[in-house]
Amino acid sequence: MDKSLWIIWYDLPEDRRDEYLTWLHGVYMPRLLERPGIVSATHYASEHQPPQTGKKKPRRHPPAGSVPDGYHYILIVGATNPHVFAQPVPRDYHAALPAHERALLALRSGESMNIMVEEARIDGLDAANRTSALELSPCIQLGRFLHDDDEELLKWYAQWRMPSMTAMSGCVGIRKLVSVAGWAKHAILQEFVSLEIRNRNFVDHERRNHPEKAEWSEKVTSMVLHGPGSPTVACRIASLVKK
């Protein structure tokens, strides 16, 4: 039922954070779920992560200023299909909000968004831990990017990366997404039971458990142009699903 995701990355000023979050979680998100076709809204705060060890090449990012650089908060809105988000499109929806709510939205800095559709989905070992089929997990890793070789990327995700996640304890699921609107053409959403389990089982898992695949993965990931802060590790701070 949530085959399309509207994803917004942004930052907030610390001195207005509580005011904004009270409105977002108590007013904005519940109102979104009143719209036909929208089935969930989940808000995340990013977690600081040390650089991954053992990588041969640093991650590539677009030139400074060419893509909005916010990523400390991520709002993910699920819908049955991407045209749900065209009734109205996000900018028109926000323009029609009351002035005091537009002022709260204006607190977002470095804001960027994508409307994505699901390319593929695989359940992890811990998929049964979902409290609802529509609720995203307490911890996610979300990458957004362009790629130099989309055919090689398709092959790698289908033949290796996504199937490999089905054997990882603590993984709830993984979704590969492609864009309908927004800067990033691709996204990968990986769900985990908790931040602690993600850090213990996912970080450097390939080099520990499947070193024969590390060279291929290094080749593919070296061709990624990541959005700011990508891949972002984040923990859930609010969640609503349609009853």
pLDDT per residue as tens digits for the range 202-232: 988 887 878 889 899 999 999 999 999 999 9
Q: One-letter amino acid identity for 91?
A: R
Q: Are 160 and 212 in contact (CB under 8 A)?
A: no
Q: One-letter amino acid identity for 170?
A: G
Q: How do residues 144-194 score in pLDDT, each as one tens digit?
A: 999 999 999 999 999 999 999 998 999 999 999 999 999 999 999 999 999
Provide the 3-class DSSP secondary structure of residue 154.
helix
- Give all domains of the chain, ordered by start, each with its CATH number: 4-241 (3.30.70.100)
Provide the 3-class DSSP secondary structure of residue 79.
strand
Nearest alpha carbon to residue 180 among 43, 6, 62: 6
List, in order, residues 6 or more apart from 173 with CB less than 8 Å away.
121, 122, 123, 124, 127, 137, 190, 191
**Whole-angstrom distance, CA of residue 144 vs CA of residue 2:** 19
Tokens 């709260």, residue located: 104
